[in-house]
Every structure is written in C-alpha cells, then in structure tokens.
C-alpha cells in the first residue's frame, strides 16, 4: 500500500489521519513532529551539501512536509515545493491553507500547476484552485484535458462550505455480491 494513502481530515481541526501500511498515524499541525521536520528542512536548505534538501524531503511523507510548511518562511516553502514530484505536490496543496497555496502557486509555472492539479482528486484540485486568482484558474483550466477541466470548473462554482463544495465527482461502483469489507479492500489496494 502506498504511504499516505487513504488520508482524511476532520473539518475544522488540525488532526490528519494517514493509513500507512495498515497502521493509523495521527499528525497535528504545529506538533513537535512538524516543528522537527521544519527544522530539518531548514538545516538541509542552508547546508552546502549538494542534494541534501532533496534527499531529506524524499524520506518524508508529503503530509509531514505539508504540516512543516506552516513553520517555514516563504522562500523555504518555495525551495521545498520545487523539489516535490506532482503527487507529493498535490498532497501538500491539499493540506496547506489558502494563503500558502497561493504563495506556492505564485512561484510555480502554470503548466506545472496544471499537471499537479490534474493529478489531484477533483474536489481537492478545486479547493487548491479556489485559493488562486481567477485569471490563473483560467490559465490552469486551459492546460488540463477538457473533461477534467469541466469537472474542476463545475466544482469551483460551488461555495467551499456548501455540500457541492465538499463533494467529489469520483464514484466507486461494486457488484451487488461484494461485501463492504471487499469494497474497502479494493479501495485500499
């Protein structure tokens, strides 16, 4: 199972739950762990060792990196974000607030942002895009395949706190003879 898969958030709190190899791990923004991760990132960024930062962040779960973003200054955030792959960048954008999302997007090329947002679940991609200026949203939508762009545009039309704003357009179908535990096992895989 991929690390960090099956993440969920309790709205209005800072608790994130991650199922990693069948073990539930709870993380909190501002926790000792996120402060430690931020300190390690800061030290690696200031290090004169080539590739130190990239090597360090490759060992962290993207959720830990996202929580550490709150502790980093804007230049450090940008430096870290530039080193992440599209999947990890998507997780970070899912987890950070609107202000940090906007800051990270400002330093990222539109084509790269489109790739990151296209790889995210549609509801999360729409949430990330809602933190961006409308002109940038349009430029991103123009670089995403048409069907996905239409789905994102539809989700962007809903107010963030409405039922439409928190829904996903992804649906899982299962045959009627499959048990709930069978469906959950399929989702986990």
CA gap 72, 130 in Å, rounded: 23
40 has a pLDDT exceeding 60: yes
| Angle CA 51–53–57, to nearest 5 | 120
Residues 79-124 pLDDT 10s: 999 999 999 999 999 999 999 999 999 999 999 999 999 999 998 9
Give the residue-averaged pLDDT of 10-18: 41
CA gap 88, 80 in Å, rounded: 11
- Domain residue spans of the chain: 109-189
Out of 4-13, 51-60, 130-139, pick the least confident: 4-13
End-to-end CA distance of the chain: 6
39 has a pLDDT exceeding 60: yes
DSSP codes joined into one string, 97-155: -HHHHHHHHHTS-HHHHHHHHHHS-HHHHHHHHHTS-HHHHHHHHTTS-HHHHHHHHHH
Under 8 Å between Cβ of 168 and 120? no
Residues 113-159 pLDDT 10s: 999 999 999 989 999 999 999 999 999 999 999 999 999 999 898 76
Give the residue-averaged pLDDT of 168-174: 63
172 has a pLDDT exceeding 80: no
**Residue 185 banded pLDDT, cuts 50, 70, 90:** confident
Q: Which residues contact 41 (CB under 8 A, 6 or more apart)?
A: 53, 56, 57, 65, 68, 72, 76, 80
pLDDT, the chain, mean: 81
CA distance readout (Å), 70 to 29, 92, 111, 127, 157: 8, 11, 25, 18, 28
5 has a pLDDT exceeding 80: no
Residues 64-74 pLDDT 10s: 999 999 999 99
Percent with pLDDT over 90 in the chain: 56
CA gap 156, 25 in Å, rounded: 31
Strand order in the sheet with 23-28: 8-9, 15-20, 23-28
């Amino acid at each position: 199972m991929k690390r960090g898969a099956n993440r969920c958030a309790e709205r209005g709190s800072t608790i994130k739950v991650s199922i990693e190899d069948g073990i539930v791990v709870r993380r909190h923004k501002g926790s000792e762990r996120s402060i430690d991760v931020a300190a390690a990132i800061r030290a690696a960024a200031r290090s004169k060792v080539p590739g130190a930062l990239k090597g360090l962040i490759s060992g962290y779960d993207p959720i830990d990196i996202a929580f550490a973003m709150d502790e980093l200054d804007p230049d450090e955030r940008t430096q870290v974000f530039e080193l992440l792959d599209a999947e990890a960048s998507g997780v970070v954008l899912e987890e950070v607030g609107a202000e940090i999302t906007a800051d990270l997007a400002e330093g990222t090329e539109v084509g790269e942002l489109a790739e990151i947002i296209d790889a995210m679940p549609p509801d999360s991609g729409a949430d990330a895009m809602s933190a961006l200026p409308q002109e940038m949203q349009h430029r991103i939508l123009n670089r995403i395949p048409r069907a996905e762009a239409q789905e994102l545009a539809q989700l962007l039309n809903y107010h963030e706190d409405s039922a439409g704003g928190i829904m996903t357009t992804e649906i899982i179908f299962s045959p009627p003879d499959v048990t709930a535990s069978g469906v959950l096992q399929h989702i986990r895989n």
